[in-house]
Structure 1
Amino acid sequence: MKAQVRKTLFILTCLLPFYTWAQTGKFYSSDKELSNSLINKVYQDRRGFIWISTENGLNRFDGNRFTIYKHNSADSTSLKNNYVRTVFEDSSSRFW
């Protein structure tokens, strides 16, 4: 019985460093990463991207960095407005 407890404690001790490094604890702000601090909606799509709709653009987080989408009057496929209230994904993986 004691040998089994020692073996279990040894395994847990070996795995503990991996568990503590699992999260980065990074703080994201509108100073560098986000387009605005006024967040309206947070959504995770089927591919794992995090979409954050704000009052000054749409932000996509891939786990490492943000990509910011904003209205561009020269591009008819861009956002119609920078004020993004929400985001939806339909059954065909299209965003609305």
Structure 2
Amino acid sequence: MMNLSFVVAQSKDSRLKYLSQEDGLSSSVVVDIVQDNYGFIWFATRNGLNRYDGYSFKTFTNDPNNVNSIPVDRLTCLLIDKNGNFWIGSLDGLVWFTWIMIRKLFL
């Protein structure tokens, strides 16, 4: 687990950019980070899944009234496998999304 009050992203001009909750990150506790084939950076946090596009965050949290939402907010790990499937881990188990599902639900 990484208990960070900020995370760092690299912009096109190769300068470091510090990101925090003030920038829209849903939690200061980031437990995993992956970058997808489209360039989005995904953050697993203790308060949901965050997608960063280089400019702003979009946060995905559990919504009990929406069957398409992520199942829990307290995440433990992320993985993009060789087939492009997106795996989200939590203490309650694993959830996987195909890129077709990701585009439909999260992009």
> Could you tell me the TM-score, scaled by structure 2's length?
0.62
**CA distance change for structure 1 residues 41 and 89 in 2, over 3 Å: closer, same or farther?**
same
Q: Which has the larger radius of gyration?
A: 1
Question: Hey, which of these two has a bigger chunk of helix by percent?
Answer: 1
> Whole-Å Cα distance in 1 between the matches of residues 38 and 14 of structure 2?
20
> Could you tell me the TM-score, scaled by structure 1's length?
0.69
Which structure 2 residue ranges, 5 or more long, are not aligned? Answer: 1-11, 88-107
- Among candidates 44, 59, 82, match of residue 68 of structure 1: 59
Q: Does 1:42 align with 2:44?
A: no
| Backbone CA RMSD of aligned residues | 1.9
**CA distance change for structure 1 residues 25 and 92 in 2, over 3 Å: closer, same or farther?**
closer
Amino acid at match of 1:52: F
SS at match of 1:67: strand
> Whole-Å Cα distance in 1 between the matches of residues 54 and 45 of structure 2?
18
SS at match of 1:31: helix
Which structure 1 residue ranges, 5 or more long, are not aligned? Answer: 1-20
Q: Does 1:87 align with 2:43?
A: no
Amino acid at match of 1:27: Y
> Whole-Å Cα distance in 2 between the matches of residues 55 and 92 of structure 1?
27
| Identity fraction in percent | 32
* Structure 1 residues 31-53: Cα deviation after superposition (integer angstroms, max 9, x where no partner): 34100000100111111110010
